[in-house]
Amino acid sequence: MKIMPNRLDRAFFMHQAEYEKKALEILRSGWYILGKEVSSFEEEFAAYNGSRYCVGLASGLDALWLAFRVLGIGAGDEVIVQANTYIASVMGITINGATPVFVEPDEFYNINTSMIESKITSKTKAILVVHLYGQAANMSDILSLCQKYQLRLVEDCAQSHGAEYRGKKTGTFGDIGCFSFYPSKNLGAFGDAGAILTNDESIAHAMKIYRNYGSEKRYYNQVVGANSRLDELQAGLLRVRLSHLEELNEERRLIASKYLDKIKNPLIHLPKTMVHCGHVWHQFVIRCSERQNLISYLEEKEIGTIIHYPIPPHLSEAYRYLGHSAGSYPFTEELADTVLSIPMYNGMTAAEQDYVIEALNQF
Ligand SMILES: *Cc1c(COP(=O)(O)O)cnc(C)c1O
Protein backbone atom coordinates (compact mmCIF):
# COMPACT_ATOMS: atom_id res chain seq x y z
CA MET A 1 0.00 0.00 0.00
CA LYS A 2 1.42 3.39 -1.01
CA ILE A 3 0.88 6.11 1.57
CA MET A 4 1.88 9.69 1.01
CA PRO A 5 2.70 11.97 3.94
CA ASN A 6 -0.27 14.12 2.98
CA ARG A 7 -3.24 13.83 0.62
CA LEU A 8 -4.73 17.21 -0.11
CA ASP A 9 -7.22 15.79 -2.60
CA ARG A 10 -9.02 13.82 0.11
CA ALA A 11 -10.42 16.87 1.90
CA PHE A 12 -11.51 18.27 -1.46
CA PHE A 13 -13.41 15.13 -2.44
CA MET A 14 -15.11 15.02 0.96
CA HIS A 15 -17.06 18.16 0.06
CA GLN A 16 -16.49 18.30 -3.68
CA ALA A 17 -19.96 19.46 -4.71
CA GLU A 18 -19.87 22.40 -2.28
CA TYR A 19 -16.44 23.58 -3.46
CA GLU A 20 -17.35 23.27 -7.13
CA LYS A 21 -20.62 25.11 -6.68
CA LYS A 22 -18.88 27.96 -4.85
CA ALA A 23 -16.05 28.17 -7.39
CA LEU A 24 -18.46 28.39 -10.32
CA GLU A 25 -20.54 31.00 -8.54
CA ILE A 26 -17.46 33.19 -8.07
CA LEU A 27 -16.08 32.61 -11.57
CA ARG A 28 -19.43 33.66 -13.01
CA SER A 29 -19.83 36.68 -10.73
CA GLY A 30 -17.32 38.90 -12.53
CA TRP A 31 -15.91 40.12 -9.17
CA TYR A 32 -12.56 38.62 -8.17
CA ILE A 33 -10.74 40.83 -5.66
CA LEU A 34 -11.99 42.30 -2.35
CA GLY A 35 -15.67 41.58 -2.65
CA LYS A 36 -18.40 39.92 -0.67
CA GLU A 37 -16.68 36.54 -0.33
CA VAL A 38 -13.70 38.16 1.40
CA SER A 39 -15.84 40.24 3.72
CA SER A 40 -18.09 37.26 4.52
CA PHE A 41 -15.10 35.04 5.21
CA GLU A 42 -13.62 37.74 7.46
CA GLU A 43 -16.85 37.96 9.44
CA GLU A 44 -17.24 34.19 9.70
CA PHE A 45 -13.63 33.51 10.67
CA ALA A 46 -13.67 36.27 13.30
CA ALA A 47 -16.94 34.87 14.71
CA TYR A 48 -15.66 31.28 14.69
CA ASN A 49 -12.64 32.32 16.76
CA GLY A 50 -14.47 34.74 19.02
CA SER A 51 -12.46 37.71 17.77
CA ARG A 52 -13.77 41.13 16.80
CA TYR A 53 -11.94 41.56 13.49
CA CYS A 54 -10.39 39.44 10.76
CA VAL A 55 -8.51 40.86 7.78
CA GLY A 56 -7.85 38.55 4.83
CA LEU A 57 -4.34 38.61 3.38
CA ALA A 58 -2.36 36.80 0.70
CA SER A 59 -0.29 34.47 2.92
CA GLY A 60 0.79 33.55 6.43
CA LEU A 61 4.16 35.21 5.97
CA ASP A 62 2.43 38.45 4.98
CA ALA A 63 0.26 38.20 8.09
CA LEU A 64 3.40 37.90 10.23
CA TRP A 65 5.49 40.68 8.73
CA LEU A 66 2.54 43.03 8.43
CA ALA A 67 1.68 42.34 12.09
CA PHE A 68 5.07 43.61 13.26
CA ARG A 69 4.96 46.48 10.74
CA VAL A 70 1.58 47.65 11.99
CA LEU A 71 2.76 47.39 15.61
CA GLY A 72 5.74 49.59 14.72
CA ILE A 73 8.33 46.94 15.61
CA GLY A 74 11.49 47.21 13.52
CA ALA A 75 15.19 48.05 13.55
CA GLY A 76 16.71 48.05 17.04
CA ASP A 77 13.85 46.02 18.51
CA GLU A 78 13.97 42.43 19.71
CA VAL A 79 11.23 39.84 19.41
CA ILE A 80 11.23 36.58 21.38
CA VAL A 81 10.38 33.45 19.41
CA GLN A 82 10.91 29.73 19.86
CA ALA A 83 14.00 28.38 18.09
CA ASN A 84 12.34 25.28 16.60
CA THR A 85 9.74 27.01 14.45
CA TYR A 86 9.20 27.15 10.71
CA ILE A 87 11.52 29.80 9.28
CA ALA A 88 8.61 31.98 8.10
CA SER A 89 7.89 32.91 11.74
CA VAL A 90 11.38 34.35 11.99
CA MET A 91 11.15 36.09 8.61
CA GLY A 92 8.06 37.92 9.82
CA ILE A 93 10.33 39.54 12.41
CA THR A 94 13.45 40.14 10.33
CA ILE A 95 11.70 41.57 7.23
CA ASN A 96 10.98 44.54 9.48
CA GLY A 97 14.62 44.83 10.55
CA ALA A 98 13.90 43.58 14.07
CA THR A 99 16.08 40.91 15.73
CA PRO A 100 14.71 37.48 16.67
CA VAL A 101 15.77 36.27 20.11
CA PHE A 102 15.47 32.51 20.21
CA VAL A 103 14.18 30.45 23.12
CA GLU A 104 14.37 26.67 23.36
CA PRO A 105 11.16 24.62 23.18
CA ASP A 106 9.86 22.32 25.89
CA GLU A 107 8.96 18.64 25.60
CA PHE A 108 5.63 19.64 23.99
CA TYR A 109 7.61 21.31 21.15
CA ASN A 110 6.27 24.76 22.05
CA ILE A 111 8.24 27.63 23.59
CA ASN A 112 9.69 26.76 26.99
CA THR A 113 8.02 29.48 29.03
CA SER A 114 10.46 29.08 31.93
CA MET A 115 13.30 30.16 29.63
CA ILE A 116 11.73 33.37 28.32
CA GLU A 117 12.32 35.78 31.18
CA SER A 118 16.14 35.59 31.07
CA LYS A 119 16.00 36.63 27.39
CA ILE A 120 14.04 39.83 27.99
CA THR A 121 16.09 43.02 27.61
CA SER A 122 15.29 46.72 27.34
CA LYS A 123 15.02 46.18 23.56
CA THR A 124 12.42 43.43 23.78
CA LYS A 125 9.18 44.65 22.24
CA ALA A 126 7.15 41.49 21.66
CA ILE A 127 6.76 37.75 22.02
CA LEU A 128 5.85 35.79 18.91
CA VAL A 129 4.24 32.60 20.16
CA VAL A 130 3.93 29.71 17.70
CA HIS A 131 1.34 27.02 18.38
CA LEU A 132 3.52 24.42 16.71
CA TYR A 133 2.13 21.29 15.07
CA GLY A 134 -1.37 22.33 16.18
CA GLN A 135 -0.98 22.38 19.97
CA ALA A 136 -1.71 25.59 21.86
CA ALA A 137 1.24 26.99 23.80
CA ASN A 138 1.15 27.64 27.55
CA MET A 139 -0.69 30.95 27.23
CA SER A 140 -1.16 31.76 30.89
CA ASP A 141 2.63 31.94 31.45
CA ILE A 142 3.09 33.95 28.26
CA LEU A 143 0.31 36.40 29.10
CA SER A 144 1.77 37.09 32.54
CA LEU A 145 5.19 37.79 31.04
CA CYS A 146 3.68 40.15 28.47
CA GLN A 147 1.85 41.96 31.23
CA LYS A 148 4.85 42.13 33.55
CA TYR A 149 7.21 43.53 30.89
CA GLN A 150 4.65 45.43 28.80
CA LEU A 151 5.31 43.37 25.69
CA ARG A 152 3.22 43.03 22.57
CA LEU A 153 1.95 39.55 21.81
CA VAL A 154 1.70 38.17 18.29
CA GLU A 155 0.55 34.59 17.67
CA ASP A 156 1.63 32.43 14.74
CA CYS A 157 -1.43 30.24 14.26
CA ALA A 158 -0.45 28.87 10.86
CA GLN A 159 -0.70 25.35 12.29
CA SER A 160 -3.40 25.81 14.94
CA HIS A 161 -6.73 26.74 13.32
CA GLY A 162 -9.39 25.89 15.86
CA ALA A 163 -6.99 24.91 18.67
CA GLU A 164 -7.93 26.20 22.11
CA TYR A 165 -6.09 27.05 25.31
CA ARG A 166 -8.49 26.64 28.25
CA GLY A 167 -11.45 26.96 25.90
CA LYS A 168 -10.24 30.11 24.12
CA LYS A 169 -9.12 29.94 20.50
CA THR A 170 -5.50 30.49 19.54
CA GLY A 171 -5.09 33.78 17.71
CA THR A 172 -7.27 35.69 20.19
CA PHE A 173 -4.87 36.05 23.13
CA GLY A 174 -2.62 38.84 21.94
CA ASP A 175 -2.57 41.95 19.80
CA ILE A 176 -2.62 40.05 16.51
CA GLY A 177 -3.18 36.39 15.54
CA CYS A 178 -1.57 35.42 12.23
CA PHE A 179 -2.96 32.62 10.06
CA SER A 180 -1.85 30.86 6.90
CA PHE A 181 -4.32 28.98 4.74
CA TYR A 182 -1.66 27.27 2.65
CA PRO A 183 -3.32 24.13 1.22
CA SER A 184 -1.76 21.70 3.71
CA LYS A 185 -2.88 23.64 6.81
CA ASN A 186 -5.86 22.48 8.87
CA LEU A 187 -7.92 25.25 7.27
CA GLY A 188 -6.42 25.02 3.81
CA ALA A 189 -7.25 27.02 0.70
CA PHE A 190 -6.59 25.93 -2.89
CA GLY A 191 -3.62 28.21 -3.27
CA ASP A 192 -1.91 30.80 -1.07
CA ALA A 193 -3.96 32.72 1.47
CA GLY A 194 -3.70 34.16 4.98
CA ALA A 195 -5.38 36.43 7.52
CA ILE A 196 -4.99 38.17 10.85
CA LEU A 197 -7.33 38.35 13.82
CA THR A 198 -7.43 41.26 16.23
CA ASN A 199 -9.75 42.85 18.74
CA ASP A 200 -8.26 46.28 18.08
CA GLU A 201 -10.15 48.31 15.51
CA SER A 202 -7.15 50.51 14.68
CA ILE A 203 -4.99 47.44 13.95
CA ALA A 204 -7.67 45.98 11.68
CA HIS A 205 -7.98 49.32 9.90
CA ALA A 206 -4.21 49.62 9.44
CA MET A 207 -4.03 46.06 8.05
CA LYS A 208 -6.67 46.86 5.46
CA ILE A 209 -4.59 49.85 4.37
CA TYR A 210 -1.31 47.93 4.28
CA ARG A 211 -2.71 45.02 2.28
CA ASN A 212 -3.75 47.33 -0.52
CA TYR A 213 -0.61 49.38 -1.35
CA GLY A 214 -1.06 51.48 1.74
CA SER A 215 -4.21 53.06 0.46
CA GLU A 216 -7.73 53.30 1.76
CA LYS A 217 -8.95 55.57 -0.98
CA ARG A 218 -7.71 54.75 -4.47
CA TYR A 219 -4.58 56.73 -5.46
CA TYR A 220 -4.15 58.21 -1.96
CA ASN A 221 -1.32 56.24 -0.41
CA GLN A 222 -0.67 56.78 3.29
CA VAL A 223 2.16 54.29 3.80
CA VAL A 224 4.35 52.01 1.68
CA GLY A 225 2.18 48.92 1.79
CA ALA A 226 1.97 45.59 0.05
CA ASN A 227 -0.22 43.82 -2.44
CA SER A 228 -1.48 41.24 0.01
CA ARG A 229 -5.14 40.77 -0.70
CA LEU A 230 -7.03 37.55 -0.14
CA ASP A 231 -8.85 36.91 -3.41
CA GLU A 232 -12.52 36.11 -3.80
CA LEU A 233 -12.04 32.59 -5.09
CA GLN A 234 -9.88 31.52 -2.13
CA ALA A 235 -12.14 33.34 0.34
CA GLY A 236 -15.22 31.58 -1.04
CA LEU A 237 -13.55 28.16 -0.93
CA LEU A 238 -12.29 28.89 2.60
CA ARG A 239 -15.86 29.64 3.69
CA VAL A 240 -16.83 26.15 2.59
CA ARG A 241 -13.89 24.59 4.43
CA LEU A 242 -14.47 26.70 7.54
CA SER A 243 -18.03 25.35 7.75
CA HIS A 244 -16.47 21.87 8.13
CA LEU A 245 -13.41 22.77 10.21
CA GLU A 246 -14.74 21.37 13.47
CA GLU A 247 -15.43 17.95 11.95
CA LEU A 248 -12.11 17.99 10.06
CA ASN A 249 -10.20 18.72 13.28
CA GLU A 250 -12.20 16.05 15.10
CA GLU A 251 -11.15 13.52 12.46
CA ARG A 252 -7.50 14.50 13.02
CA ARG A 253 -7.93 14.04 16.76
CA LEU A 254 -9.28 10.53 16.21
CA ILE A 255 -6.36 9.65 13.93
CA ALA A 256 -3.93 11.03 16.53
CA SER A 257 -5.49 9.16 19.43
CA LYS A 258 -5.28 5.91 17.50
CA TYR A 259 -1.61 6.54 16.76
CA LEU A 260 -0.97 7.36 20.44
CA ASP A 261 -2.80 4.24 21.48
CA LYS A 262 -1.41 1.76 18.98
CA ILE A 263 2.17 2.74 18.20
CA LYS A 264 4.33 0.71 20.54
CA ASN A 265 8.01 0.70 19.79
CA PRO A 266 10.76 1.67 22.26
CA LEU A 267 12.71 3.28 19.40
CA ILE A 268 9.87 5.70 18.74
CA HIS A 269 9.08 8.63 21.00
CA LEU A 270 5.46 9.75 20.70
CA PRO A 271 4.29 13.38 20.92
CA LYS A 272 3.05 14.64 24.30
CA THR A 273 0.00 16.71 24.97
CA MET A 274 -0.18 19.26 27.78
CA VAL A 275 -3.25 19.86 29.93
CA HIS A 276 -5.40 22.83 28.84
CA CYS A 277 -3.42 23.07 25.57
CA GLY A 278 -5.85 21.86 22.93
CA HIS A 279 -4.37 20.07 19.94
CA VAL A 280 -5.66 20.04 16.36
CA TRP A 281 -2.87 17.77 15.11
CA HIS A 282 -1.62 19.73 12.14
CA GLN A 283 1.26 17.24 12.24
CA PHE A 284 1.83 14.04 14.18
CA VAL A 285 5.50 14.36 15.05
CA ILE A 286 7.42 11.40 16.44
CA ARG A 287 11.10 11.32 17.39
CA CYS A 288 13.58 8.61 16.61
CA SER A 289 17.32 8.66 17.20
CA GLU A 290 17.71 6.31 14.22
CA ARG A 291 15.69 8.60 12.00
CA GLN A 292 17.50 7.94 8.74
CA ASN A 293 17.10 4.18 9.13
CA LEU A 294 13.46 4.63 9.95
CA ILE A 295 12.85 6.83 6.90
CA SER A 296 14.54 4.32 4.58
CA TYR A 297 12.64 1.44 6.14
CA LEU A 298 9.31 3.25 5.71
CA GLU A 299 10.24 4.21 2.14
CA GLU A 300 10.70 0.52 1.33
CA LYS A 301 7.16 0.00 2.54
CA GLU A 302 6.05 2.99 0.42
CA ILE A 303 5.17 5.12 3.44
CA GLY A 304 6.12 8.75 2.98
CA THR A 305 7.25 11.01 5.82
CA ILE A 306 8.40 14.64 6.15
CA ILE A 307 10.76 16.36 8.57
CA HIS A 308 9.36 19.50 10.21
CA TYR A 309 12.10 20.90 10.25
CA PRO A 310 15.57 19.60 9.49
CA ILE A 311 17.43 22.93 9.76
CA PRO A 312 16.50 25.27 12.62
CA PRO A 313 16.30 28.95 11.58
CA HIS A 314 19.37 29.94 13.64
CA LEU A 315 21.50 27.53 11.57
CA SER A 316 20.01 28.41 8.21
CA GLU A 317 22.14 30.22 5.65
CA ALA A 318 19.62 33.06 5.55
CA TYR A 319 20.35 33.82 9.21
CA ARG A 320 24.10 33.37 9.22
CA TYR A 321 24.30 37.13 9.83
CA LEU A 322 22.78 36.66 13.29
CA GLY A 323 25.99 34.89 14.28
CA HIS A 324 24.60 31.74 15.93
CA SER A 325 26.45 28.47 15.64
CA ALA A 326 25.78 24.77 16.13
CA GLY A 327 25.33 24.12 19.83
CA SER A 328 23.63 27.45 20.57
CA TYR A 329 20.24 25.79 21.06
CA PRO A 330 20.94 22.13 21.87
CA PHE A 331 17.38 20.86 22.35
CA THR A 332 16.23 22.61 19.19
CA GLU A 333 19.11 21.03 17.30
CA GLU A 334 18.37 17.61 18.80
CA LEU A 335 14.77 17.93 17.61
CA ALA A 336 15.93 18.94 14.13
CA ASP A 337 17.96 15.72 14.04
CA THR A 338 15.27 13.38 15.36
CA VAL A 339 11.73 14.61 14.54
CA LEU A 340 9.66 12.93 11.85
CA SER A 341 6.09 13.66 10.76
CA ILE A 342 4.18 10.51 9.89
CA PRO A 343 1.15 10.51 7.55
CA MET A 344 -1.73 12.56 9.00
CA TYR A 345 -4.43 14.00 6.80
CA ASN A 346 -8.17 14.33 6.55
CA GLY A 347 -9.67 11.38 4.76
CA MET A 348 -6.97 8.95 5.90
CA THR A 349 -8.58 5.50 5.88
CA ALA A 350 -8.42 3.01 8.76
CA ALA A 351 -6.59 0.57 6.47
CA GLU A 352 -3.97 3.20 5.66
CA GLN A 353 -3.47 4.06 9.29
CA ASP A 354 -3.27 0.40 10.35
CA TYR A 355 -0.61 -0.17 7.70
CA VAL A 356 1.47 2.75 9.06
CA ILE A 357 1.05 1.58 12.66
CA GLU A 358 2.05 -1.96 11.84
CA ALA A 359 5.12 -0.81 9.93
CA LEU A 360 6.19 1.43 12.83
CA ASN A 361 5.68 -1.34 15.37
CA GLN A 362 7.79 -3.73 13.32
CA PHE A 363 10.71 -1.31 12.91
C1 LIG B 1 2.99 27.69 6.97
C2 LIG B 1 3.58 28.49 8.06
C3 LIG B 1 3.87 29.85 7.89
C4 LIG B 1 3.84 30.55 6.58
O5 LIG B 1 2.62 30.58 5.93
P6 LIG B 1 2.55 30.84 4.35
O7 LIG B 1 1.11 31.02 4.07
O8 LIG B 1 3.14 29.63 3.68
O9 LIG B 1 3.34 32.07 4.07
C10 LIG B 1 4.32 30.56 9.00
N11 LIG B 1 4.50 29.97 10.19
C12 LIG B 1 4.26 28.67 10.38
C13 LIG B 1 4.46 28.08 11.74
C14 LIG B 1 3.81 27.87 9.32
O15 LIG B 1 3.57 26.57 9.51
pLDDT in tens, 85-134: 999 999 999 999 999 999 999 999 999 999 999 999 999 999 999 999 99
> Domain 9-102+110-242 classified CATH 3.40.50.970?
no
Q: Which of 355, 346, 349 is nearest to 304 (CA)?
A: 355
Percent of the chain with pLDDT over 90: 100
**Residue 321 confidence (pLDDT):** 97
**Residue 354 confidence (pLDDT):** 98
Predicted TM-score (pTM) above 0.85: yes
CA distances from 36 to 177, 230, 236, 355 (A): 23, 12, 9, 45
What is the CATH number that goes with domain 245-362? 3.90.1150.10
**Residue 226 confidence (pLDDT):** 97
Which residue minimizes the CA distance to atom 4 of ligand 1? 60
Q: Which of 191, 332, 331, 344 is nearest to 254 (CA)?
A: 344
| Ligand 1 site residues, Cβ closer than 6 angstroms | 59-61, 85-86, 88-89, 130, 156, 158-159, 180, 182, 192, 194
E strand or H helix that includes residue 180: strand 176-180
* Start-end of CATH 3.90.1150.10 domains in the chain: 245-362
* Ligand 1 centroid distance, CA of 299 (Å): 27
Which residue minimizes the CA distance to atom 7 of ligand 1? 60
* Ligand 1 centroid distance, CA of 30 (Å): 30
Ligand 1 atom with least separation from CA of 159: 15
* Ligand 1 centroid distance, CA of 88 (Å): 6
Ligand 1 atom with least separation from CA of 63: 9
**Residue 59 confidence (pLDDT):** 98
Contacts of 25 (CB under 8 A, 6+ apart): 236
* Start-end of CATH 3.40.640.10 domains in the chain: 9-102+110-242
Which residue minimizes the CA distance to atom 10 of ligand 1? 88
